[in-house]
Amino acid sequence: MSDKTNSDDTNLKSAQVVTPDKGEHDPAGANDHLSTSNATPEKQESFVSEFDVWWSSPEDEDPANPRNWSNSQKWTIIASLSLVTFLTPLASSMSAPGVPQMLMDFKTNSTLLATFVISVFVLGFAFGPLVIAPLSEWIGRVPVYHVCNIFFFIFTIICAVSKNMAMLIVFRFLAGFAGVAPITCGGGTIADLMPPERRGVAMSLWSLGPLFGPIIGPIAGGFLVEAKDWRWVFWVIAMASGASTILCFFTLKETYPPIILERKAAQMRKETGNSSYRSRLKSDIPKKELFIQSIMRPMKMLFCSPIIFLMCAYVAIMYGLLYILFTTYTFVFEGEYGFSSGTAGLAFLGSGVGMLLGLAFAATQSDKRIKRKIAAGEPVLPEDRLRYTLIVPACLCLPVGLFIYGWSTQYHVHWIVPQTGSAVIGFGMIAILMCIQTYLVDAFTIHAASATAANTVLRSLLGALFPLFALKLYDRIGLGWGNSALGFIALAIAPIPIGFRVFGERIRTNPRWQVKF
């Protein structure tokens, strides 16, 4: 390992909680730490072997470096990923209005199955990242995207032709397992392509899918179920998935620096016949051991890093609360307000409007401080994403919205009032999620995909399991106190992201908390 690389690793350790094992590479952040190095390109090159393969000099003009690709190419990749990231969460809730039909077709009246057939898809989201994230850091992002897109398409078709509830639940789980790929790896791809000062807007576009998919799904699904039947929901998703899979074959391009540089080294070995050429980011660890490390990394990051554990726990609880609402909106608005199966999907509009406003708020605020500090020549910190003017109102919107929604439905106030409450919840949900996701990518750029995977695993588990007791909670203590209990939970965990705004840098740079991933 060259002196130059060791120097860069030292810079990374001072800026991030990640301490790479010997031989590990800098995946998404290969450009981040080099751009902050004080050494000139000529001085850097003098430290390395002539057989070390790196970006061509000058780095900011090398067309192979994803950071130097044209804006149109970058945004085409991000837009394609955002489309797929929209379709898979869309599938998580689009079938919700058809649950009563499913129960009749399969001759069951179990309330547990009624919620589990929806939430089992999100359970697949919890287990998929444990395999998908390590694979993306081992063989590259694009092969993972393509294979998972194809499997998602196949499993969705099988859901459409299911013969019984067990078959439907199993393949719903597998569809979620495969469909989580763009949600797991998308943050890493954005980190590959975009410098920190431009990630906020890109993360906003990419984050549209996981939040708007579950909102738009029931709206479209409600009218589709009313006009046709529940199986058509899966046929429509399969058709959209097939089209997006074909699109991705033409638009996606490998962005992962270790894979790009390894291909470049292989080409040079082939052209020169000299086997000494080697990517500077190639690991010294045997492939089998490296794969095992990669498989273990998301869970190790989740349980060994206090930043990742607490932030992921906060997002997971928020996600669980959100999915309680998503899986019960149909029952609440049909039962309390007399909505039909078609119009029941419109109950999700309030959350959608709130999320749209929250997204605009977060996107305009997220990069503002970063750009200002860069312009002033000040060091940029991941904690700059957690601005008080952004996270404080976002954290407080969750409990306030839950109180409004719960008591207005309890007393049968006009439906516009609970819709307003759900809009307040949606606003806070996406604003805080944007802050935390971008913060984790900035703080753990070296393993952005694994950090995102750890986040996805925990939030998907709670998103799948929380709704299982939601209807019983409402039946026992009512909509008012039931949603108030959820609001008190949201209020109790609000200090977590606010606390990291104050103490995050101290924890992140403290040697006691620096863990080898």
* Range name among 31-35, 305-309, 377-381, 482-486 with the lowest pLDDT average: 31-35
In this prediction, residues 186-194 reach a mean pLDDT of 86
Does the pLDDT value for residue 366 go beyond 80? Answer: no
Q: Each residue of 34-62: pLDDT tens digit?
A: 333 333 333 334 445 677 778 876 666 77
Does the pLDDT value for residue 374 go beyond 80? Answer: no
Average pLDDT, the chain: 79
Give the whole-angstrom CA distance, residue 81 versus residue 76. 9
Q: Which domains are present in the chain?
A: 70-254+292-516 (1.20.1250.20)
Measured in whole angstroms, how far is the alpha carbon of residue 83 from the centre of its chain? 13
Where does the pLDDT of residue 478 fall: very low under 50, low under 70, confident under 90, or very high at 90 and above?
Answer: confident
3-state secondary structure of 278: strand
Question: Is residue 460 within 8 Å of 126, Cβ to Cβ?
Answer: yes
Give the whole-angstrom CA distance, residue 204 versus residue 9. 29
Task: Name the phi and psi angles at 22, rounded to 5.
Answer: -60, 130
Q: Each residue of 425-472: pLDDT tens digit?
A: 989 888 888 888 778 877 776 676 677 777 777 877 887 777 777 777
* Range name among 209-213, 251-255, 320-324, 360-364 with the lowest pLDDT average: 209-213
Taking Cα atoms as reference points, which of 266, 85, 281 lies closest to residue 186? 85
Does the pLDDT value for residue 252 go beyond 50? Answer: yes
Q: What is the pLDDT of residue 513?
A: 63
Q: What is the pLDDT of residue 145?
A: 95
In this prediction, what percent of the chain has a pLDDT beyond 90? Answer: 20
Taking Cα atoms as reference points, which of 86, 166, 191, 172 lies closest to residue 125? 172
Give the position of tokens 């002539």. Answer: 50
Task: Name the phi and psi angles at 279, rounded to 5.
Answer: -60, 135
The residues near 33 (Cβ < 8 Å, ≥ 6 apart) are: 8, 11, 12, 15, 26
In this prediction, residues 270-299 reach a mean pLDDT of 77
Give the whole-angstrom CA distance, residue 281 versus residue 279. 5
Where does the pLDDT of residue 29 fall: very low under 50, low under 70, confident under 90, or very high at 90 and above?
Answer: very low
Q: What is the pLDDT of residue 516?
A: 64
Q: What is the pLDDT of residue 212?
A: 74
Does the pLDDT value for residue 178 go beyond 90? Answer: yes
In this prediction, residues 220-243 reach a mean pLDDT of 89
DSSP secondary structure, 98-153, as one string: GHHHHHHHTT---HHHHHHHHHHHHHHHHHHHHHHHHHHTTT-HHHHHHHHHHHHH
Predicted model pTM: 0.72
Where does the pLDDT of residue 226 fall: very low under 50, low under 70, confident under 90, or very high at 90 and above?
Answer: confident
Does the pLDDT value for residue 22 go beyond 80? Answer: no
Q: Each residue of 112-136: pLDDT tens digit?
A: 777 788 878 888 888 888 888 778 8
Q: What is the pLDDT of residue 4?
A: 38
In this prediction, what percent of the chain has a pLDDT beyond 70? Answer: 85
Q: Each residue of 71-91: pLDDT tens digit?
A: 999 999 999 998 998 898 888
Peptide bond into 58 cis (omega under 30): yes
Q: What is the pLDDT of residue 59?
A: 66
The residue among 316 and 387 whose pLDDT is bigger is: 316
Where does the pLDDT of residue 515 fall: very low under 50, low under 70, confident under 90, or very high at 90 and above?
Answer: low
In this prediction, residues 239-268 reach a mean pLDDT of 91
Q: What is the pLDDT of residue 161?
A: 93
Question: Is residue 432 within 8 Å of 388, Cβ to Cβ?
Answer: no
Give the whole-angstrom CA distance, residue 357 versus residue 513. 37
Q: What is the pLDDT of residue 251?
A: 94
